[in-house]
């Protein structure tokens, strides 16, 4: 590792630009390889048991390739499963030391191998090292006999070289420390025979070397001493009380000195283990044999097995568990009914066979409570250890994970796994994963264990606020009050918490000479759009702007939506009169009229305009009744404003007529203006030539104006016809299939207007809808069909001319999207 860091410095000094980036990648790969090799091969130490607190074990930081200065920043920690705090690491010098008393016999029993497995975990980046600390045995346990006193009853008739079984001592240590030698206190009758095989399953035996004579010696007191092979040596003793008996001189004898039996664990109570058979050469009661466990048998043995005294059958009496005891050693006595009784001994070795009765155990150590959705693959989420208390194939465990999840298990050591990220995450699709770990052993039938691991996906700001549609159309009536709420924009952010907190703002721009913010504003939190001042249709018909939505993430993300605000016209402008004179100012219209004109002759015309649009700018003219109710020989066209005679003038008519013409629009409520027309009647012979010339000039100008209007009507009709044909072709292409009723069908007749004269009372509206795959059908074309009410005179030329003018005006106003205030048609 030191060499790698030296190379890192050298690469940094000698490279730059692309070469430096390549060197960094090479160095990073070497570091990962070194970290993997370090984490894969465990480090081995050894320490004797019963070592004092603070005893040195090893320089673990140095051996793992870690610098002392990075132990604390990288959260160096040591975990030992089920071993408590026996070993600790000094983070100042990186030394592994003994922290508390270590008893090898308590940890591993009589197992030949005893070690403590440590997991060393460091972060930034996460590394896991495995350390094995072997616990060396010391001679801290003396040999122990089953009892401190042993009573033996030996008949005086026993022949020389007779053998008497003794229970040997046991030593909790292993190896040489548990290698026992025996010594019998000096005497003239007995010698000690020690078995030579390694298992020492054959008991110790006293061998009679000199015939016994109860009359000479009725009782012997001997001391048997056991010494282990440790340094220093430890010893244990048992006192042998030998009572010399008379008479019955044949002891029961078993077929074998040692019986070896294999028994399945979890065998049911009453299962026969073995049927013993011992023989006695004596006759009668001296040859009747009773079987029993040795007097020094452990309570555990009596709880697990029972022996029938007469038949010699040994049966299961309790729980037989391979994981608790793998080998049972039973000392059996056979005694006859002689007086004194004679004893025979044998040893039964019961090997317990393992069955698959323990399911694997899973231990999950979570390292991350939540994982960000932009975490790279390979991120370690949890450490998993698997154990199985069975043996052999029953203890071989395989670990698997729920399929079709972006995680995988990586084996780091035997029965140790890491749960790592396998592919990219997306919190907006899945915010939490409930993983199921399954550990299955190799037994038949196999056993399995499941554990649930919940992985929460933490949000990152990877989604910008989104509007439901990119553009909205808003209709607002003009003359709205200041601060009026006109619309609400709303954007949704698929992220969570502050990443989904949306704020709104205007995209500032200039509207004419003024800033957009002087017209509208948007509330930052609610998205409500307000009009800051009254809007004027005559000044601004369309206000188009954008609203921006940004979230509170880091860095923030945003998007825009376009608002088209159409200002709807209201009837807030009265008709304005266009009177002859300089600048067309206010005043009366004067006109000379010859008495010789006939009925229907146009003598004057009132002109007016309205600044509004649509129906609010559609003007009509009415002649106010004369004072006193006198019938006037003049009338005014309803929509043209032309004043014409209703009959031929005669001498009885007054020489001067004052007419009041009321000009009214069609708004709600209607606004009006009044024009005063002064007509002077002159005899045709008395009319001055100047007046005649003036009349002739006015008539010429009027004719020229009529020609211009006719040309305008023809042009508008041509354009409208082209538009209608295009629209019909578009509708035919879009609606190739027969449209369903209600989607593209004609609308119902609707009353659109009722005039004072009644010529438009029965107008009928027809709609041609254009089918579209998106949204409801829209009325794109409106055409009006006039209907003449009954009772109108077809011979009245003036009414027919006025009716045609009305039809032309309505068609032009409905079809063309133009703000035509007034068109004169003759």
pLDDT tens for residues 90-138?
888 988 888 888 888 878 877 778 888 888 888 888 888 888 888 888 8
* Three-class HEC string of 359-396: CCEEEEEECCCEEECCCCCCCEEEEEEEECCCCHHHHC
Rounded to an integer, the average pLDDT of 616-645 is: 88
Kindly report which listed range (76-80, 310-314, 460-464, 785-789) carries the lowest average pLDDT score: 785-789
Confidence class for position 344, pLDDT limits 50, 70, 90: very high
For helices 797-815 and 689-734, what crossing angle results, to 10°? 50
pLDDT in tens, 508-561: 999 888 899 999 999 999 999 999 999 999 888 899 999 999 999 999 999 999
Q: What is the DSSP letter of 469?
A: S
Both tokens assigned to 273:
């283990």
The pLDDT of residue 439 is: 92
Q: What angle do CA 183, 185, 186 make, to 5 degrees?
A: 115
pLDDT in tens, 25-83: 455 444 444 444 444 578 889 989 888 888 898 998 888 888 888 888 888 888 877 66
pLDDT in tens, 658-707: 889 999 999 889 999 999 999 998 886 554 443 434 344 444 444 544 55
Inter-residue contact 724 to 782 (CB < 8 Å): no
DSSP H helix total and E strand total for the chain:
7, 53
Contacts of 400 (CB under 8 A, 6+ apart): 409, 437, 438, 440
Calpha distance 378→369 (Å, rounded): 16
Confidence class for position 795, pLDDT limits 50, 70, 90: very low
Single pTM value for the model? 0.49
Which of 435, 430, 433, 373 minimizes the C-alpha distance to 409?
435
The pLDDT of residue 87 is: 86
pLDDT in tens, 452-461: 888 999 999 9
Contacts of 157 (CB under 8 A, 6+ apart): 246, 247, 248, 249
Peptide bond before 366: cis, by omega within 30 degrees of 0?
A: no
Return the H-helix or E-strand segment holding 693: helix 689-734
Contacts of 77 (CB under 8 A, 6+ apart): 120, 121, 122
The pLDDT of residue 175 is: 80
pLDDT in tens, 400-417: 998 889 999 998 888 899
Top pLDDT among 172 and 641 is at: 641
pLDDT in tens, 151-174: 998 888 888 999 988 888 888 888
DSSP string, 165-176: EEPPPB-SS-GG
Rounded to an integer, the average pLDDT of 258-277 is: 93
CA atoms within 13 A on the CB side of 630: 11
Q: What is the DSSP letter of 419?
A: E
Q: What mean pLDDT is reported for the chain?
A: 79
Inter-residue contact 80 to 121 (CB < 8 Å): no
Rounded to an integer, the average pLDDT of 287-300 is: 89
Residue 423 has pLDDT above 70, yes or no: yes
Inter-residue contact 407 to 425 (CB < 8 Å): no
């Amino acid at each position: 590792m030191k060499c790698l860091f030296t190379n890192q410095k050298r690469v940094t000094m000698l490279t730059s630009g692309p070469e430096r980036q390549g060197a960094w990648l090479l160095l990073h790969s070497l570091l990962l390889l070194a970290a993997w090799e370090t984490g894969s091969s465990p480090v081995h130490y050894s320490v004797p048991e019963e070592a004092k607190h603070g005893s040195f074990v090893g320089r673990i930081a140095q051996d793992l390739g870690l610098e002392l200065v990075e132990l604390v920043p990288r959260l160096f920690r040591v975990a030992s499963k089920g071993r408590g705090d026996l070993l600790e690491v000094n983070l100042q010098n990186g030394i592994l030391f003994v922290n508390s008393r270590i008893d090898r016999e308590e940890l591993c029993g009589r197992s030949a191998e005893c070690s403590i497995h440590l997991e060393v975990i460091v972060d930034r980046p996460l590394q896991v090292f495995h350390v094995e600390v072997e616990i060396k045995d010391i001679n801290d346990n003396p040999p122990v006999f089953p009892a401190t006193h042993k009573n033996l009853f030996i008949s005086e008739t026993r022949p020389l070289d007779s053998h008497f079984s003794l229970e040997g001592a046991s030593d909790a240590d292993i190896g040489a420390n548990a290698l026992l030698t025996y010594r019998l206190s000096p005497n003239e009758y007995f010698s000690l025979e020690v078995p030579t095989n390694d298992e020492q399953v054959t008991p110790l035996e006293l061998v009679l070397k000199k015939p016994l004579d109860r009359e000479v010696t009725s009782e012997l007191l001997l001391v048997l001493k056991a010494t282990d092979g440790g340094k220093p040596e430890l010893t244990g003793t048992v006192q042998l009380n030998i009572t010399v008996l008379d008479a019955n001189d044949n002891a029961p004898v078993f077929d074998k000195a040692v019986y070896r039996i294999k028994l399945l664990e979890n065998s049911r109570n009453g299962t026969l283990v073995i049927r013993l058979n011992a023989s006695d050469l004596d006759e009668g009661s001296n040859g009747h044999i009773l079987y029993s466990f040795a007097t020094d048998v452990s309570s555990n043995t009596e709880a697990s097995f029972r022996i029938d005294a007469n038949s010699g059958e040994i049966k299961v009496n309790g729980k037989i568990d391979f994981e608790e005891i793998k080998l049972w050693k039973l000392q059996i006595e056979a005694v006859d009914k002689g007086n004194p009784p004679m004893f025979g001994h044998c040893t039964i070795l019961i090997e317990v066979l393992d069955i698959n009765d323990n399911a694997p155990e899973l231990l999950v150590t979570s390292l991350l409570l939540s994982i960000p959705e932009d975490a790279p693959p390979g991120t370690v989420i949890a450490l998993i250890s698997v154990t199985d208390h069975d043996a052999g194939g029953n203890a071989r465990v395989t670990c698997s994970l729920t399929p079709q999840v972006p995680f995988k298990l990586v084996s780091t050591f035997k029965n140790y796994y890491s749960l790592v990220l396998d592919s990219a995450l997306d919190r907006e699709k899945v915010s939490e994963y409930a993983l199921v770990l399954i550990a299955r052993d190799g037994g038949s039938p196999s056993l399995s264990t499941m554990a649930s691991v919940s992985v929460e996906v933490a949000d990152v700001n990877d989604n910008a606020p989104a509007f439901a549609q990119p553009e909205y159309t808003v209709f607002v009536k003009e003359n709205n009050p200041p601060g009026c709420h006109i619309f609400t924009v709303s954007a949704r952010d698929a992220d969570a918490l502050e990443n989904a907190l949306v704020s709104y703002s205007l995209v500032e721009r200039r509207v004419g000479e003024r800033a957009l913010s002087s017209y509208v504003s948007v509330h930052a939190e609610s998205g409500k759009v307000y009009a800051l001042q009254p809007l004027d249709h005559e000044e601004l018909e369309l206000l188009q702007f954008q609203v921006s939505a940004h979230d509170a993430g880091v860095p923030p993300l945003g998007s825009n939506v376009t608002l088209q605000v159409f200002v709807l016209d209201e009837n807030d402008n009265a008709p304005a009169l266009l009177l002859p004179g300089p600048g067309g100012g206010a005043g009366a219209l004067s006109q000379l009229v010859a008495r010789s004109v006939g009925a229907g002759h146009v003598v004057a015309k009132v002109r007016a305009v309205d600044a509004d649009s649509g129906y609010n700018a559609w003007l009509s003219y009415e002649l106010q009744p004369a004072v006193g109710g006198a019938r006037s020989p003049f009338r005014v066209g309803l929509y043209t404003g032309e004043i014409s005679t209703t009959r031929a003038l005669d001498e009885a008519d007054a020489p001067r007529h004052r007419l009041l013409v009321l000009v009214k629009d069609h708004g709600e409520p209607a606004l009006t203006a009044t024009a005063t027309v002064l007509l002077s009647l002159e005899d045709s012979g008395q009319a001055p030539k100047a007046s005649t010339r003036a009349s002739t000039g006015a008539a010429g100008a009027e004719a020229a104006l009529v020609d211009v209007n006719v040309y305008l009507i023809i042009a508008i009709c041509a354009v409208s016809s082209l538009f209608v044909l295009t629209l019909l072709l578009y509708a035919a292409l879009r609606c190739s299939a027969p449209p369903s009723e209600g989607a593209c069908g004609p609308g119902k007749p609707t009353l659109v207007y009722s005039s004072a004269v009644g010529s438009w009372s029965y107008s009928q509206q027809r709609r041609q809808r254009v089918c579209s795959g998106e949204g409801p059908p829209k009325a794109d074309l409106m055409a009006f069909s006039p209907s003449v009410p009954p009772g109108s005179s077809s011979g009245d030329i003036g009414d027919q001319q006025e009716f045609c003018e009305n039809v032309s005006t309505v068609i032009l106003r409905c079809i063309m999207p133009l703000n035509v205030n007034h068109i004169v048609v003759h």
